[in-house]
Amino acid sequence: MKYEFAARMGKVPRSFIREILKVTEDPEIISFAGGLPNPESFPYHDIKEVAVQVLEESGAQALQYSTTEGYYPLREWVSNRYQSKGVKVDPEEVLVTNGSQQGLDLVGKIFLNQEDPVLVERPTYLAALQSFGLYEPVFYSVPLEEDGVDVNRLEEALHEFDPKLFYAVPNFQNPTGISYSLKRRKEVARVLTGSNTVFVEDNPYGEIRFMGEDYPPVKAFLEESVLLGSFSKIVSPGIRLGWITAPAEVMDKLVTAKQASDLHSSLLSQMIVHRYLSEYPVEAHLEKIRSMYKSQRDLMVSLIQEEFPDDVQCTEPEGGMFLWVTLPEGMSSLELFEMALKEQVAFVPGQAFYAEEPQYNTLRMNFSNSSAEKIETGIKRLARSIRELEK
Ligand code: PMP
C-alpha cells in the first residue's frame, strides 16, 4: 500500500537531535548531546512513598477519568508558586499538560494557520520549530545577544512581519544557556504591549538558577502573554507533566484543543506530583539540583576556557542545563562532530537550532548529565578534535 501522508508531515524534519542521540547511545561515547536532567536528582524514594499513599488513600479517584484542565490542587500549587514570584496567575488560568511540549503543540493548534508568520529567537529550541512547524507557519528569527533578544530587531520584526506569535525562552535558553536581564524583560514587554503578537514564554528551566539574580518572567510585565512551565526539571521528565497559563479567552481554546488531543493528563501522575510538592522538602530538593548543576557547569566552563583554543567562545550560563560554543568563523561544527565521534565524544551541531540561515560554527553542550570525570575526559578530547580541525 502507498501511504499518502498529509503534506505537513513532509515539512517537519525528524528531530536532528534524536538522530544524533541514536549514534551516541553507545555507552563508550561521552555524550554532551542529549538534554537530560541528572538522574541522581530524581526523588525516587519520595515518589515511591507518595505513589503508595495516593493509591491507598485515593486509588479510585486517581485511576478514574478526570477533568481536562487538570487536578485543581496542582493548578493551585502552580498559581501559588507564581504569586511568590510576583506574578498573578489564578488557578483557573493554569492548564496541566503532558510536559510543556504539549503546551507548545496546543499553542500552535489554536493560533496558527498555514503561512502565518511566527517569530523565534536566533537560535531557538529545536522542538518548538517542530511543534509549530506541523501547522505550517513561516518562521522569522531575531538574534539573541548576551542578555537577551535584540529588542530593536524585535521591534522591527514586529512591524515588518506582524507575527502571530513570538516564542522565546528567557531563562537559560535551550540551546544557548542565555538569560534575559531584567531590563530586556521589561523592554520585550514594552514593545509587545498593544501589538497583536502573542508572546509565548517557555520557562522549563526557571527554577534551576544556580547563580546570579532571579528575575520574574516577562509575563509579570505583560499579562496577556502565554507562559509555559514544566515539572520535568524539578521533579522528573518521565512523569510527563507541565502546564500552560493564559488569559481566560485563550485558556478556553486551549482546553478544547487538549480535550480533542487526549481528554486530560494522567490524574495519577498529577496527584503524585502534587502530594510530593506539597508534603516534601521541595526547596531542599531544588537546592540539591542547583548545586549539582552548578558544579557540573563550573567544571565544563573552566575546562573549556583552559583547553579550547582562545578563538573559541562559550556562554557562561547562570542556570539550566546547556552552554553554547562558537567556533572561529568558517569552521564547521558538523565536521567537528564527525571528528569528535572518532574520539568518542558527542555534542549537538548548532545548525539544527536555526529557523533560517543556520550558523554552522556553533554547537550545544549539555552539562547536567555527565559525571565530573566524563566532563574532564570529554572536554580534553573535544579540544584535541578542535585543534586537529584548525590545522
Ligand atoms: N521547552 C524547552 C525550551 C525545553 O528545553 C524542553 C525540554 N527539552 C521543553 C520545552 C519540553 O519539556 P517537557 O515537555 O519535558 O516539559
Average pLDDT over residues 67-91: 96
High-pLDDT (> 70) share of the chain, %:
98
The Cα–Cα gap between 213 and 209 comes to: 8
| Ligand 1 contact, 100 CB (< 6 A) | yes
Q: Which CATH architecture describes the domain 64-279?
A: 3-Layer(aba) Sandwich (3.40)
Cβ of 174 less than 6 Å from ligand 1: yes
Tell me the domain boundaries of the chain. 7-43+284-390, 64-279
pLDDT for 16: 67
- Cell digits of residue 86: 510576583
Predicted confidence at residue 285, as pLDDT, reads 97
Q: What separation in Å is there between the alpha carbon of 389 and the centre of ligand 1?
A: 33
Asked whether the domain spanning 64-279 has the same topology as the one spanning 7-43+284-390, the reply is no
Distance CA 231, CA 242 (A): 5
How far, in Å, from the CA of 168 to the mean position of ligand 1? 12
Q: Per-residue pLDDT for 15 more than 70?
A: no
3-state DSSP of the chain: CCCCCCHHHHHCCCCHHHHHHHHCCCCCCEECCCCCCCHHHCCHHHHHHHHHHHHHHHHHHHCCCCCCCCCHHHHHHHHHHHHHCCCCCCHHHEEEECHHHHHHHHHHHHHCCCCCEEEEEECCCHHHHHHHHCCCCEEEEEEEECCEECHHHHHHHHHHHCCCEEEECCCCCCCCCCCCCHHHHHHHHHHHCCCCCEEEEECCCCCCECCCCCCCCHHHCCCCCEEEEECCCCCCCCCCCEEEECCHHHHHHHHHHHHHHHCCCCHHHHHHHHHHHHHCCHHHHHHHHHHHHHHHHHHHHHHHHHHCCCCCEECCCCECCEEEEECCCCCCHHHHHHHHHHCCEECEEHHHHCCCCCCCCEEEEECCCCCHHHHHHHHHHHHHHHHHHHC
206 lines ligand 1 (CB under 6 A): no
Residue 276 CA to ligand 1 center (angstroms) comes to: 21
23 has a pLDDT exceeding 80: no
235 has a pLDDT exceeding 90: yes
The stretch 176-180 carries a mean pLDDT of 98
The answer on pLDDT for 17 being more than 80 is: no
> How large is the average pLDDT for residues 247-263?
98
Which DSSP symbol is given to 351? G
Secondary structure (3-state) at 51:
helix
Ligand 1 atom, smallest distance to 169 CA:
3
Min mean pLDDT across 26-30, 140-144, 201-205, 224-228 is at: 26-30
Ligand 1 pocket mutation, candidates 18, 78, 101, criterion most atoms within 8 A of CB = 101
In the reported structure, the alpha carbon of residue 148 is separated from the centroid of ligand 1 by a whole-number distance in angstroms of: 19
- For Cα atoms 182, 183, 186, give the angle at the middle one, nearest 5 degrees: 85
Cα atoms in the Cβ-side hemisphere of radius 13 Å centred on 94? 25
Which three-class secondary structure state does DSSP give residue 168?
A: strand
Model confidence over 82-123: pLDDT tens digits?
999 889 999 999 999 999 999 999 999 999 999 999 999 999
- For the stretch 318-367, pLDDT in tens is 999 999 999 999 999 999 999 999 999 999 999 999 999 999 999 999 99
pLDDT higher than 80, residue 64: yes
- Nearest C-alpha neighbor of 269 from the set 84, 27, 89, 98: 98
- Using an 8 Å Cβ cutoff, are 47 and 236 in contact? yes
**202 C-alpha to ligand 1 centroid (Å):** 8
Residue 126: CB atoms within 10 Å: 22
Query: Residue 223: is its pLDDT beyond 70?
Result: yes
Pocket probe mutation, ligand 1, options 102, 169, 232, max atoms within 8 Å of Cβ: 232
Q: CATH number of the domain at 7-43+284-390, please?
A: 3.90.1150.10
Amino acid letter, 174: N
Q: Please state the atom number of ligand 1 nearest to the C-alpha of residue 237.
A: 15
Mean pLDDT over 26-52 rounds to 94
Q: Distance between CA atoms of 382 and 360, rounded to whole angstroms?
A: 17
33/345 Cα distance (integer angstroms): 9
Q: Helix, strand, coil proportions of the chain in percent (round to 5)?
A: 45, 15, 40
139: cell is 518562521
**HEC readout, 86-111:** CCCCCHHHEEEECHHHHHHHHHHHHH
Single-letter code of the amino acid located at 113: N
Query: Which ligand 1 atom is the nearest neighbour of the CA of 242?
Result: 16
Q: Ligand 1 within 6 A of 101 CB?
A: yes
pLDDT tens for each residue of 132-153: 999 999 999 999 999 999 999 9
Confidence band, pLDDT 50/70/90 cuts, at residue 65: very high
C-alpha cell at 359: 550558523
